[in-house]
Amino acid sequence: MSGPIVEAEGVVKTFGPIRALDGVDISFEAGIIYGLLGPNGAGKTTLIRVLTTLIRPDAGTARVAGIDVLADPTAARTKMGLAGQFAAVDDYLTGRENVEMVGRLYGLSRGDARRRAAEVLERIGLVDAADRPVRTYSGGMRRRLDLAASMVGRPQVLFLDEPTTGIDPRSRIDIWNLIQDLVADGTTILLTTQYLDEADQLAARVAVIDCGRVITEGTPSELKDKLGGAVVELTVTDDCRDQTLAALATVTGEQPAYEPSTKKITVPAPDGARTLMAVVRSLDSSEIVPDDITLRKPTLDDVFLALTGHHAEDQTQTSATKPRRPRRIR
Amino acid sequence: MTALPARSRVGLAQAVRDTAVITKRNLLRNVRLPQLLLFSTVQPVMFLLLFNYVFGGAIGRAIPPAAGGKYINWLIPGLVVQVATFGAGQTALGLTEDLSKGVIDRFRSLPMARSAVLAGRTMSDLIRNGLIISLMLGVGFLIGFRYQTDFVRLVAGVAVALAFTYAMSWVMAAIGLAVKNPEAAQSAVFLPVFPLVFASSVFVPTQTMPDWLRAFADNQPITVTTNALRGLILGEGALLPGQTVEGQILAALAWAAGILAVFAPLAVRVYRRTVS
């Protein structure tokens, strides 16, 4: 298919006084993982709900697989799969029954639903547990089953709303592998995440979303390039800090930055490892031994901090320590 | 098997099929967790035992002779209607639970018939309530209930009760979807229903109620439906002077049809609004 597989333009959605989406534009081609990155309440889930026909926006347009989701939601639904934030699986049915049921509701015949469910369960690694009731499943297994259910209709586009939130690291890797397999087979995936490493690892393109707006968009490396190149980051004991700062300024020709809260000194490293080596030589000749020294590429967290003035994961992790904008409901 | 074709409309055949799929899904829960059904039956049976043995002696004197001199014969048709009414509340609870677990979102993202979620829910609750009514009738027989007409009329009476419970399920669907939260739904559903059940002929004849209450009690749907069942199960002698069995059946069915005509479209509207 030519043209973008998912396209949203000027999407606005308000809930009472809250502008959950404030004119969102996104667009991307088929066959990739597209990441929507943002803190809780940024509007990620609301955007997914608009794209999957669950809510109608107040303004704007959205197309999935070439179908206008507002004009023809039923047709659009045949092209998409959704795995929401909560595993929407039935505790009292077995894994297989859950997947077969969704297959039937996609319009598959009884036989096709059965065959397709077996295929999907195999793929997702739940064959052994398939005939057990879901209430015996672990959290990670439930998420995988939910993913299986969203795949059963062979959707062209899969929408995954925070597929790894709240599950253990091991299951997280499983789900990452599965998502990468699906894309290798030609499915397009839009996933939301609050985890920068997840977007960094999986997504070919990322839209950073905050307060209902896309604040930047691009490949993870483009986003990092916006912040310039690598930095050398080091910590030294307090008594030789001034000496270190002076030495670094001489080596790089730039004033290093010192962050008192973390005691980290950073200095731009335009030549990468060369800069690092020059820094090390200079410290060595001054007989300074740093506690820690690294050459670091900017992370998406740096991107986020630079663009929004706050850390991406702040809102969920340190809820009591910093003043913040009111949380938004989805 | 290739990708599904894009369909803009869901046909009637698929709507029926989707409804069957959802109905089966809802019923399986009762099969896998038989306690659910058991506890739903325990409550009416408890009512049956308490009312029969505690109040039966006292109330027994006030009931018409058509009951064969036994309060339980008078009580059972009333309790069947009570189960039909309370059992319909399950529709609200089931829907709010699906809403809160994201199951409704999943259904709404599928190319299935929109109507199937509510149609399937009310259908599975109808079957479930039919089962609970049968279980309660079984217990009733064990402790002395005997129909005074014939078996066919007993079955006809149960059918009238099922028409009523189906209509009430749509009322409860509308309430549940409006409240959304499972805990809130619990009280939102049972609070209005309690006075309706007690200010009726379910437990006692209405003659001893004050006039203002009696005027209400004699004409509200729970009384009318109970009267229809009593007429069928005990004979015309169980009704007030001037009432006929046919008249009460027609009135009960008219109530059910009227409730359905108002609340089914309303529930569908609330469903559309609730989830979007």
pLDDT tens profile A226-278: 766 788 888 988 888 888 888 888 888 878 888 888 888 888 887 888 888 99
CA B171 distance to own-chain centroid: 10
Q: Which of B103, B109, B114 is the mutation pick for testing A, counting most A CBs within 10 A?
A: B109
Q: What is the mean pLDDT of residues B221-230?
A: 96
The answer to whether residue B133 scores a pLDDT higher than 50 is yes
Instruction: Write down which residue in A180, A209, A225 finishes a domain.
Output: A225
0.90 exceeded by pTM: no
Residue A170 domain flag: yes
Q: Is A252 on the interface with B (CB under 8 A)?
A: no
The answer to whether residue B195 scores a pLDDT higher than 50 is yes
φ/ψ region of A157 (left if φ > 0, alpha if ψ in -120 to 50, else beta) reads beta
Complex confidence, ipTM: 0.86
In which domain, by residue range, is A71 found?
6-79+155-225
Based on the domain organization, do A46 and A169 belong to the same domain? yes
Between B154 and B1, residue with greater pLDDT: B154
Question: What backbone torsions phi and psi does residue A141 show, to the nearest 5 degrees?
Answer: -65, -40
CB B111 within 8 A of CB A106: yes
Q: What is the mean pLDDT of residues B45-61?
A: 88
Residue A38 domain flag: yes
Residue A293 domain flag: yes
Q: What is the mean pLDDT of residues B104-132?
A: 93
Q: Is A132 on the interface with B (CB under 8 A)?
A: no
Based on the domain organization, do A182 and A54 belong to the same domain? yes
The answer to whether residue A91 scores a pLDDT higher than 80 is yes
Closest Cβ–Cβ partner in A85, A104, A107 for B4:
A107
Residue A16 domain flag: yes
- Write the pLDDT tens digit of every residue in A295-326: 887 777 777 777 777 766 554 433 333 333 44
| pLDDT at residue A312, as a whole number | 62
Residue A34 domain flag: yes
- Cβ within 8 Å, pair B110-A55: no
Q: What tokens does A48 get?
A: 């997914």
Q: What is the mean pLDDT of residues B12-29?
A: 94
CATH number at residue A276: 3.30.70.100
Helix (H) or strand (E) holding A166: none
The fraction of chain A above a pLDDT of 70, given in percent, is 92
Q: What own/partner pairs with CB < 8 Å and gap ≥ 24 does A288-294 have?
A: A288/A236, A288/A240, A288/A243, A288/A244, A288/A247, A290/A234, A290/A235, A290/A236, A290/A244, A291/A234, A291/A235, A291/A236, A291/A237, A292/A234, A292/A235, A293/A232, A293/A233, A293/A234, A293/A235, A294/A232, A294/A233, A294/A234
A 45-64: CB under 8 A from B: 49, 52-56
| pLDDT at residue A2, as a whole number | 67
Interatomic CA distance for residues A132 and B146, integer angstroms: 44
The count of structural domains within chain A is: 2
- Write the pLDDT tens digit of every residue in A17-63: 999 999 999 999 999 999 999 888 889 999 999 999 999 999 999 99
Residue A259 domain flag: yes
Based on the domain organization, do A253 and A168 belong to the same domain? no
Residue found under tokens 């789900």 = A175
- Residues across chain B: 276
Residue A107 domain flag: no
A 82-111: CB under 8 A from B: 82, 84-88, 90, 92-93, 97, 101-102, 104-108
For residue A168, name the pLDDT band (cuts at 50, 70, 90).
confident
Average model confidence (pLDDT) across chain A: 87
Q: Which residues in chain A are closer than 8 Å to B116, comparing Cβ atoms?
A: 105
Residue A261 domain flag: yes
Q: What tokens does A116 get?
A: 């397709």
Question: Which residue of chain A is at minimal alpha-carbon distance from B113?
Answer: A105
Distance from CA of A175 to the nearest CA of B (A): 19
Based on the domain organization, do A70 and A173 belong to the same domain? yes
CATH number at residue A65: 3.40.50.300
Based on the domain organization, do A194 and A241 belong to the same domain? no
| pLDDT at residue B5, as a whole number | 67
Based on the domain organization, do A54 and A72 belong to the same domain? yes
Residue type, B176: G
Based on the domain organization, do A214 and A247 belong to the same domain? no
Interatomic CA distance for residues B200 and B80, integer angstroms: 13
Instruction: Write down which residue in A200, A225, A250 finishes a domain.
Output: A225
SS3 at position B73 = helix
Instruction: Write down which residue in A204, A225, A246 finishes a domain.
Output: A225
Q: Is B275 on the interface with A (CB under 8 A)?
A: yes
| pLDDT at residue B275, as a whole number | 63
